[in-house]
Amino acid sequence: MKKFLTAFVFLLAFGGFNQSVHAAELSSLDITTAITIAEDDTQTVVQTVEAASTGDGVVRFPLPTKEANNLSVEIDGTAVEYDLEATQVQRGPFTVDIVEVLFTPPSASWQAELSYDTTSLLGDGELKTIAVAALDYSTQNVTEQVEITAPLTLGVPVAIGTQADDSSVGGGMQTYVFRFDEARTTSVLLDFATTQSYRLNWSEELKNTSFWWQTKQVVLAPDTNQQVVHIEDISPKPTTIHLDTDGNIIAMYNLGPKRSVKVEASAVATVRSVRYAIDDDRGVDEVPGTLEAYVSQTGLWASGQEQTQDTAKATIETLYEAATEAASQTNSDSYLDVLNSFIADVRASGLPARLIAGTLTHNGAQALENPTQHYWAEVYLPGTGWMTADPAMNTMYEQFGVSDGFHVAEFIRGIDSEKPPKNHNTVQLLALNETPDLPDDFIPLVAQTKYLLLPGLSFTKTTITMLAGAVVDGVGYEDGGNAYRLGSLAPLQEMTRWRLALGSASWGPSTVGVGLLQNDAVDVVAEADSNLSFIPAIVLAVVVAASVYGFIVWRRKRKEPVRVHEADEDIQVDAEDLLKKP
């Protein structure tokens, strides 16, 4: 019995596919990965591998997925036994979950076919992005072909990063082929949903621990070039709500001494995938002067190194390549330092840059089960505008010139480098299965009151109230034939403007219209007739009358003779008595 147990332990320790004892090294690989997406979004994968290996023993072959169901392995046409191990690989600050197949090839040169089913290559919900991660095959002598076939009902995809070499359509299916003559270092990504929708829920408790009134704020997700946020509700109603200088939506609450309030808000963020049309010839000197604050080298971004190239694009590409190399050698804890250094260098080179804090739902290799907090940059290129720049994501796929639907911005830090970031823990993000029906119409509430002071003189108050929805840029209002600019307004924001009216315009009826200001004219979408209030005139008349009456009374008192006392006829005094000495 003792000998049997000893032999059993020996087999467990040294038998099977223990690579530490028997390991074969791959010397060359020719891989064809064919992925077929079914109508129910499940994926069938067939990988054909022609390989040469050195040494006898077990081969570890990684699969670009974190699950492989119904796996079968055939070597030279014969089914073989295998082991399957879940493992993780580190790509810069990201961790990628994969599985490895362990099997023993019969000879130094062999051909294998691995087939399996999975659901992890295509993101869940509305994240219809299929990702085939780049893997380490322990040899650089690799050629690879990736074929992705999907039903046309899934939509026409956009290749994020690497572009397809061939494509074809037939039988209700579409196929895209990617070829690589060497070991690839970036993922193959096809985005079948050019926009991704997410629901954001905020829950934050604001406290005033002092013995005096304080103003507290909640920061809601901003709009960017790639993202539109529709604010659905915020409770309780803020004291005020506005956009700060970076475009963040700020809800302000005035709290009394030792008071607190729990703020809850909800919104839908729609993020689109964008491939930027970058002008190769634009120079750094073409940056608009209005963005000067985003070039300022202060605070966290005070020590950048200037990079001089012929064009703005070449400057960014050079800096981006260096930042990507730094990101590939860091982890999630120190990546923010790499990003701040990149922003500082971009600013020192004369181009605007800013920091974005938000949530990442896909790491470029696979959808994340638990979306994680992430930071990235936006850089401004003349002729292109603000463009996403994420050196960490550039280690996963060719991200330069591309914005994906995985980055959900929650906070912008640009003009003030020391501005405290949004508390990420107060935000819950959920990917939506379908985009909700969001109102696109811009129809604000408008009211105008003329407060008459004197005939021919009044103060006119115009109030524009935004409804729930998205930020609207370029808002203006038209009054008395003149157009006035309001700028960008946040959802639920109330904007009040006062102006002095003279002559007949001070009391006569008029109509005020609100809309988008274009070429010094307002495209009116909402209007209202003005109201006339006589209250100021009445109050002024009462004050004037009271003042006049008081003045008259005062003047009369000044004109009366001053009398020490009144004569008393009942008292008679003899003159001799007055002259007598006591």
- Confidence class for position 577, pLDDT limits 50, 70, 90: low
pLDDT, tens digit (0-9, with 9 covering 90-100), for 163-190? 999 999 999 999 999 999 998 889 999 9
**Structural domains present in the chain:** 2-191 (2.60.40.1730), 194-435 (no CATH), 445-533 (2.60.40.10)
Q: Which of 141-150, 176-185, 413-422, 445-454 has the lowest mean pLDDT?
A: 413-422
Residues 341, 344, 345: CA angle, nearest 5 degrees: 90
Identify which has the larger pLDDT, 20 or 54.
54
Q: What percent of the chain has pLDDT over 70?
A: 88
Retrieve residue 51's tokens.
């390989």
pLDDT of the residue at 10: 32
- pLDDT over 70 at 563, yes or no: no
Q: What percent of the chain has pLDDT over 90?
A: 49
pLDDT of the residue at 16: 37
pLDDT of the residue at 504: 84
- Confidence class for position 211, pLDDT limits 50, 70, 90: very high
- Confidence class for position 17, pLDDT limits 50, 70, 90: very low
Q: Which long-range contacts (CB under 8 A, 24 or more apart) does 372-376 make?
A: 373/424, 374/407, 375/335, 375/336, 375/339, 376/339, 376/407
Asked if 462 and 545 touch (Cβ cutoff 8 Å), the reply is: no
As a whole number of angstroms, the distance between CA 276 and CA 274 comes to 6
HSE of 511, CA atoms in CB hemisphere, 13 A: 6
pLDDT of the residue at 579: 59
Average pLDDT, the chain: 86
* pTM of the full structure: 0.82
pLDDT of the residue at 574: 60
Mean pLDDT across 272-276: 86
pLDDT of the residue at 78: 93
- pLDDT over 70 at 435, yes or no: no
Cα 553 to the chain's mean position, in Å?
Answer: 69
Strands laid side by side in the 173-180 sheet: 78-79, 69-75, 109-118, 43-54, 25-37, 142-151, 173-180, 166-170
Q: Which of 142-156, 241-255, 416-430, 539-553 has the lowest mean pLDDT?
A: 416-430
pLDDT, tens digit (0-9, with 9 covering 90-100), for 412-426? 999 876 666 666 667
- pLDDT over 70 at 277, yes or no: yes
Highest mean pLDDT among 16-30, 170-184, 364-378, 509-523: 170-184
pLDDT of the residue at 581: 58
- pLDDT over 80 at 459, yes or no: yes
Helix (H) or strand (E) holding 61: strand 59-63
Which amino acid would we find at residue 314? Answer: A
As a whole number of angstroms, the distance between CA 443 and CA 8 comes to 78
- pLDDT over 70 at 562, yes or no: no
pLDDT, tens digit (0-9, with 9 covering 90-100), for 497-538? 898 888 888 888 889 999 888 888 888 888 899 999 989 889
Q: Which of 120-124, 280-284, 290-294 has the lowest mean pLDDT?
A: 120-124
Which amino acid would we find at residue 82? Answer: Y
pLDDT of the residue at 559: 65
- Confidence class for position 326, pLDDT limits 50, 70, 90: very high
Highest mean pLDDT among 35-39, 272-276, 401-405: 35-39
pLDDT of the residue at 12: 34
- Confidence class for position 124, pLDDT limits 50, 70, 90: low
- Confidence class for position 13, pLDDT limits 50, 70, 90: very low
Identify which has the larger pLDDT, 287 or 519.
287
- pLDDT over 60 at 6, yes or no: no
Q: What sign has the CA pseudo-torsion 329, 373, 275, 157?
A: positive
- pLDDT over 90 at 36, yes or no: yes
User: How many CB atoms are closer than 10 A to CB 326?
Assistant: 19
Helix (H) or strand (E) holding 464: strand 457-465
DSSP string, 308-372: --SSHHHHHHHHHHHHHHHHHT--TTTHHHHHHHHHHHHHHTT--EEEEEEEEEE-SSSEEEEEE
* Cα-only R_g, the chain: 37
> What backbone phi and psi angles, to 5 degrees, belong to 319?
-65, -35
pLDDT of the residue at 423: 61
As a whole number of angstroms, the distance between CA 512 and CA 525 comes to 11
